Amino acid sequence: MKKVLSFLVGLIGLHFVPENHRAAVMRLGMYNRALGPGFIWIIPFVERVENLVKIGVRFATFPVRQVFSSNGIPFDFELVIRYRFDPDSTSRPIAAQLVRLPDHALEDILKDYADKSLRRTIARYSAEDIYIGGPIADIEQGVIGGLTTQVRHLGLAPMAGSGVMIKEITPPEDFRKTILVAKEYQIIIRVITAYQTEDIDHDLLAKWVRSFKDTPPTSLSSLVEFLARMEASKGEESVLIRLQTDRQIETFGEAEQRDLIEYIAHLTKTPKEAIKLVYVIPGSVLVTLEMPEDGAMKFMRLYLHDDPAISELGINKVELRPALPPPTDMPQLSAQSTSRSRLDYEHGLRRMRELLMEQAPQLLNEFHTLEARLLDNLEDERLFGISEIGLTNRARVISSLNELMIRAGLENSFMDLCRRS
């Protein structure tokens, strides 16, 4: 009875199309239009339903091999794409071809275009950025944008916003090992530059550094052991802990000081009464605190392990020093710059400017250029810490200032002018 009823309904051209589908209607053997979902009517004996085309969300998961970064490192990717196909979104000749294709053929077309779009997008990023996963969201949006542009004329469209997902990224094994080694050495540098005290166990530190090369898998556990032995070898003495932040401190009143001390006390399980703010330079990025050594070591461990709590404070460098009276001129960032406490470059520049105005005014223009370079160098050190390049550039500027003093016929050197009497 059902078959008879279906035949009679077909004779009058009435058909039903399921949800998320459209019917490809052929007229005299040629594609004419797509109808549905729901009940549709076609001209009996002249038109017929060729097949049903899914217009709902489709999924395609596939690998893309050997995708090169901007610096030529190949990665393997696994993509997941959510997309739709609507025959009414393309021209009739193209739709006539695509509605006859099986689902896997449409998926193959999309894969080919996604492959090209991914390669063009990845070529904008370095291998290091791709490996750490920083630009993944940007890469996915870049692939969506490129893919949408390329397949729009086919009636295919990735879902906006979440149409492309990078499921997995596989770097070359050699590159992965290189990145891990670089990360290990980065930790080594942070430890060496952080512990500047005279009574540090240098033999223990050297042994721990060698452990990175000899037994890399145990390097982090040896770091914990190293810090634990450092703590065990110390008493309850106070130390200075210097914090370098990634933002300037324009206002650092009593409320801000109290909040900082309470936060550090909470992190290190140290009584807040035992933490004392020693000094902070207005507009600086350096804050010096005096606190019990065990609490300072706990804070250092959080810093070395990139604890999110440290990131909330915006701290990008931490130093431990013995609890000695701080210098009165400017805080030092490392042992390399201790000579800075005996020199005042700004004072030297002022004295040199006065001398040149009196005895060699024709050299003032050249002096002003060197003065600006030195002040910029000092500002960079204040904001970002000491670097080998910065020290080299400063030495060149000071050498030029000394030469200028000689040309002006002045007896003293620029370094002499920087020493306060």
pLDDT digits (tens, 9 = 90+) for 156-196: 999 877 789 998 899 998 888 777 767 666 666 665 555 54
**Degrees (nearest 5) of the Cα angle 148, 153, 124?**
30
Reported as a pLDDT band with limits 50, 70 and 90, residue 198 is: very low
**Degrees (nearest 5) of the Cα angle 39, 30, 99?**
65
Distance CA 73, CA 219 (A): 27
pLDDT above 90 coverage of the chain, percent: 18
Q: Is the pLDDT of residue 247 over 70?
A: no
**Degrees (nearest 5) of the Cα angle 338, 343, 348?**
155
Report the chain's mean pLDDT, rounded to a whole number. Answer: 76
> CA-based Rg of the chain, rounded to a whole angstrom?
35
Residue for token pair 């950025």: 129
Give the pLDDT of residue 254.
75
Give the pLDDT of residue 207.
58
The mean pLDDT of 284-311, rounded to a whole number, is: 75
The mean pLDDT of 341-362, rounded to a whole number, is: 83
CATH 3.40.50 is right for the domain spanning 182-322? no
Give the pLDDT of residue 279.
65
* Spans of all domains in the chain: 2-53, 58-171, 182-322, 338-418
Is the pTM higher than 0.75? no
Which residues are CB-neighbours of 105 under 8 A, at least 6 positions away? none
Reading the block at residue 1, the tokens are: 């009875």
Which one is predicted more confidently, 215 or 302? 302
Picking from 214, 216, 194, the residue whose alpha carbon sits closest to that of residue 303 is 194
Distance CA 321, CA 319 (A): 7
Give the pLDDT of residue 176.
81
Q: Among the CATH numbers 3.40.309.10, 3.30.479.30, 3.40.250.10, 3.50.50.60, which is that of 58-171?
A: 3.30.479.30
Reading the block at residue 23, the tokens are: 């019917």
Q: Is the dihedral of CA 219, 221, 224, 230 positive or negative?
A: negative
Q: What is the pLDDT of residues 129-159, one digit of tens each?
A: 888 777 888 899 999 999 999 999 999 999 8
Query: From edge to edge, which strands make up the β-sheet containing 47-54?
Result: 30-35, 21-27, 47-54
Distance CA 187, CA 45 (A): 79
Distance CA 67, CA 120 (A): 9
Q: Is the pLDDT of residue 96 over 60?
A: yes
Q: Is 93 left (phi over 0), alpha (psi -120 to 50) or beta?
A: alpha
**Degrees (nearest 5) of the Cα angle 165, 168, 171?**
135
User: Are 320 and 313 in contact, with CB atoms under 8 Å apart?
Assistant: no
Q: What residue type is assigned to position 338 of the chain?
A: T
Reading the block at residue 290, the tokens are: 């005096």
